[in-house]
Chain A
Amino acid sequence: MKFKNLSVSRQEELTGYLFMLPFFIGFMIFQGFPFLITVFTSFTNMRFITKDLSKIKFVGFDNYISVLKDPDFINAFGRSLYFSVLYVVLIMMISMALAYFLNDKIFGCKLNRTLYFLPYISNIVAISVVWQLLLDNKEGPVNMVLKAIGIVNPPDWLVGNTQIVIPTIVIISVWYGLGLNLVTYLAALQEVPKSLYESADIDGANELQKFMNITVPWISPTTFFLLITSVIASMQNFAVIMSLTNGGPGNESTVLSIYTYQQAFNFNRMQMGATQSVYMLIVLALIAIIQWRGQKKWVHY
């Protein structure tokens, strides 16, 4: 069988598969096989290392039950959800609002767009160090400003206040991730036909009505896409939390990703770490399914 003897459509199909191949190989090596191993490990008693495979026993759903009985897992899971809700709501609202304003020809528009995107391409650890210095509870610039405007006891942002630590990390994460959402929204906003706004003007619609009835529905596919990616991004908070608080104070910012890492690599409970990862995957998949099903009611293609 020669490639040239195939019909054009089959040649295209074949070419398509060949283009997929590098991704497929990379995916299987770095994600597919590790994922399968993780699922396998979650059904075993493998705590650490063993060359003697006979020591690894299949334990059914024991790990899944144990994890649910672990109060630290439940707490970490709760914190993750709290983090996600705050993050997704904030990043979606702020990025949409900013994109809406930056879409107009305002002074320094391009510079603003660049500035908002800069954190996204910066190193998260370096950003964390800068934020730690900014938020130093005694001599940090943020609290100095707050004191100057009359706030006697400004918050201990990252280290001393167990109530405020997650919202603080969320704000930093939103600031970091805003650029991508903003640029995506800007691209979507530029696709909205101006004729629609002109018609609305003729009909006497105000700015809010135009935004709610034209802009929001028109960019709804983008909103849907960003909603899914933001939910996933909100769960991928390991680096920022590890560099800012290491899960502290106490365990107050120990979210699921941090706790899973601790279980696997600090406490040598590899099977528990794997089980928690599977739970995280299930939750993310469920959220994505709910969003996918729900999109029919509000996404307009």
Chain B
Amino acid sequence: MKKARKILCLVVACLMALSLLAACGKTTVSEEKQASTQKADDKSSTQKEADTAKPSGPVKLKFTFPKPVDNPAMKEYIKYAKEKLNYDIEFVDINPVAQEYDKKLSISMMAGDAPADVFYYYAAILDKYIAADTVLPLNDIAQKANVNLQTKYGTGLTVKDNKVYGLPQTRDIWVTLYNKKIFDDAGVPYPTAEGWTWSKYIETAKKLTNPSKGIYGSFMNLDWDSFQYMTAHQKGIPDYKADGTSNFDDPAFIEALKFAHDLAGKEKIQPSILTLKSKQLPWDSFGTGKYAMTVNGGWSTCFVMDKKTYPRDWKYGVLPMPYPDGSKPASSMVIGGLAVAKGTKNAEAAFKLAELFASDSFKFDTERMPTRLDMSKDEINSYITTNFIKGHEDDGVTVEDYIKCWFNPEITLTPEKVNGPGASVINSTFISEGELYGIGKKSAEDAMKNVKQKADTAIAEEKKANK
């Protein structure tokens, strides 16, 4: 028995030694990186970081984005970047679904390693990566590369403590898409961009809704967070008060919640949240041709551009996002960007890749708008013509139509989502409370009271944690 115990001890000791060796191996890599990071930290500027991180061989970079590896736009872009920069670029396919991408990126970061030198981020999440010291500030590298970030991207940049951490790659401004066939069948004239308010939207949708034919005037994903506070944001109501607490006790938020769910409950122009969930209506239901209008992010133009995924025998029209009556025209907007991981061994090259993507990727991706502020009228016209008009001339949509949606200085751009302290808890609470209001299990007042309470707790907790 004693010998058996000895053997067992020996086996366990061997195991521990093996795991220790494995851990040491990992540590060596980590130490190298840590040492590299430490060196970089010791120097006062990111320029020096970039200098220390210069590669000796051909530049190899990893790049990740929430799109599948076989996405045609992504393939074209990678090819374009390889030609322009002469880098060896590897695309890391994390997950094409936005939420899953975010989660998997977070988990990779949590494990201590960025999955790529350059990674895409959604506006609300970069803050946590910055707080964790995993993102490289870009000011000095940009200066060395003679890129004036402020002139080129302005407010689209993600800035913290006067340091630029992210370049805007997507500027997604909301639009209204409509199905001309449903308008024609109902004998309703096409709407126009001028004075396109929510009351006009509802009035038009009512004329088009025909339950006997299964036609609805409107389709919006009422179970998404942004719809629960959409009109409050459009009216310019802030999410946070001056003292840092949440502003969700502002009556505009109760009105916004009621407005969204009244589209189904009171106005009956679109499927209710109960129907959406029960029938599992997909987010891209507008593409089925049974809905006259949809209001969604600019990316939703894929419903009408991508005829392979959404084959259609009907023509489409495009308008700006409707705005609340009595307010100035306003559209929701969300920025997505590109950041350089602090652990990169090719800081300068990674910046160039990120900057090239931020600057030029709109040429390859029909769903996104350019983020550059320095584009000329000709460049804008060319962009719209190439991406939205060519091959779709039959639809009768003009360059001017898109300019009215996306390049109209009279439209105020308001945030699509709550961004700031406690944002993930706040947006999640809006979804759950909005759902309870939508199915009639809670009053709007009680729902918003709960949102306010949870938001304030989350904000206080985050502030305490960041101290």
Contacts and interface: CB of A to CB of B under 8 A. Distances in A.
B145 interface: no
B133 interface: yes
Contact of B106 (A14, A24, A250, A268): A268
Interface majority SS on A: helix, strand, loop or mixed?
A: loop
Contacts of A267: 424-425, 428, 458
B34 interface: yes
Interface residues of B, number: 40
Interface string B168-192: 0000000000000000000000000
Contacts of A45: 465
B7 interface: yes
Contacts of A1: 3
B432 interface: yes
B175 to A, nearest CB: 28
A248 B277 CA distance: 10
Contacts of A248: 277, 432, 435
A87 to B, nearest CB: 23
Given A6-B3, A250-B435, A267-B424, A138 B106 contact: no
Contacts of A129: 280
Interface majority SS on B: helix, strand, loop or mixed?
A: helix
A1 B433 CA distance: 70
Given A160-B274, A162-B441, A268-B106, A21 B3 contact: no
Interface size class of A (residues with CB under 8 A): 35 or more
A251 B432 contact: yes
B275 A51 contact: no
Interface string B118-162: 000000000011011110000000000000000000000000000
Interface string B8-49: 100100010000000000000000001001000000000000
A28 B12 CA distance: 11
B213 interface: no
Interface of A: 1, 6, 10, 13-14, 17, 21, 24-25, 28, 45, 47-52, 129, 132-133, 136-140, 156, 158-160, 162, 247-251, 262, 265-268, 270
The 10 closest A-B pairs by CB, nearest first: A250-B436, A159-B277, A49-B132, A13-B4, A49-B110, A250-B432, A137-B278, A160-B439, A159-B278, A160-B274
6 contacts: A21-B11, A49-B128, A139-B279, A262-B428, A266-B428, A268-B128
Given A10-B3, A25-B15, A129-B280, 17 more contacts: A10-B4, A13-B1, A28-B15, A48-B128, A49-B110, A49-B128, A51-B37, A137-B274, A138-B278, A138-B279, A139-B279, A140-B278, A156-B274, A159-B277, A160-B278, A249-B277, A270-B110
